[in-house]
Amino acid sequence: MFVVGLTGGIGSGKSTVANLFAMRGVPLIDTDLIAHRITAPRGIAMPHIAAEFGEEFVAADGSLDRARMRSLVFSDEAARKRLEGITHPLIRAETEREQHEAHGPYVMVVVPLLVESGTWKERVNRVLTVDCTVETQIARVMNRNGFSREQVLAIIARQATREARLAAADDVIFNDNVPLEELEMQVDATHHAYLADAMK
């Protein structure tokens, strides 16, 4: 199966663009959803997390105590690495399982942290970056999430830079001050190129 990895910073328009591909019949695999599912009640990561961090990180319903884990890994880089050591291989395995089960001309894996975390670039045939300016990211996320400018800047500071994401890209969809019709035209052109690639 031909696999496209879709990435972009927070507020770049990843979900918007991913949905436009889905409307064209491309199956989506969302790694954020997988991350959530494996740490939900009876999620496959939970026994490993309990063993590594202790039962106090497991909520009453058997899911991850997200607030507690967030406050731990926020200040403790080693703990973050230990958590990722559990979750990342499981997310990759689940992604591969979904890829095998997917029916479509090609499959799109949405990986917000494709550039930041490890080996994704080697796991996909093409990297597609959704690009916009930092100012646009800030405005959109303040508007979407009701965050302050400082809160958005703090999130952006923990992500790869715009330049790093562009450097990692095989293809780019520019989504800054772009009306929906123009975004759709970019998606159509990219989609047709992928259809051709997938048939090679």
Residue pair 32/88 in contact by the 8 Å Cβ criterion? no
To the nearest whole angstrom, how small is the minimum distance from the Cβ of residue 6 to ligand ADP?
A: 9
- Separation CA 103–CA 35 (nearest Å): 22
To the nearest whole angstrom, how small is the minimum distance from the Cβ of residue 52 to ligand ADP?
A: 30
List contacts with ligand ADP (CB under 6 A): 8, 10-16, 140, 144, 175, 178, 183
Which of these, 126, 150, 168, 185, lies nearest to 9 by C-alpha position?
Answer: 168
**Is 121 marked as a binding-site residue?**
no
CB-nearer residue toward ligand ADP: 5 or 13: 13
Residue pair 4/100 in contact by the 8 Å Cβ criterion? no
**Is 13 marked as a binding-site residue?**
yes
CB-nearer residue toward ligand ADP: 63 or 117: 117
**Is 15 marked as a binding-site residue?**
yes
To the nearest whole angstrom, how small is the minimum distance from the Cβ of residue 96 to ligand ADP?
A: 23
CB-nearer residue toward ligand ADP: 1 or 174: 174
Residue 176 carries which side chain, given as an amino acid letter?
A: D
**Secondary structure class of 189 (helix, strand, coil):** helix
Q: At what angle do helices 134-145 and 149-158 cross, to 10 degrees?
A: 120
To the nearest whole angstrom, how small is the minimum distance from the Cβ of residue 30 to ligand ADP?
A: 10
To the nearest whole angstrom, how small is the minimum distance from the Cβ of residue 26 to ligand ADP?
A: 16
CA distance readout (Å), 46 to 36, 38, 79, 197: 11, 7, 16, 39
**Is 16 marked as a binding-site residue?**
yes
- Separation CA 178–CA 174 (nearest Å): 8
CB-nearer residue toward ligand ADP: 12 or 39: 12
CB-nearer residue toward ligand ADP: 49 or 183: 183
Q: Which residues are annotated as a binding site for ATP?
A: 11-16
- Known binding-site residues equal 11-16
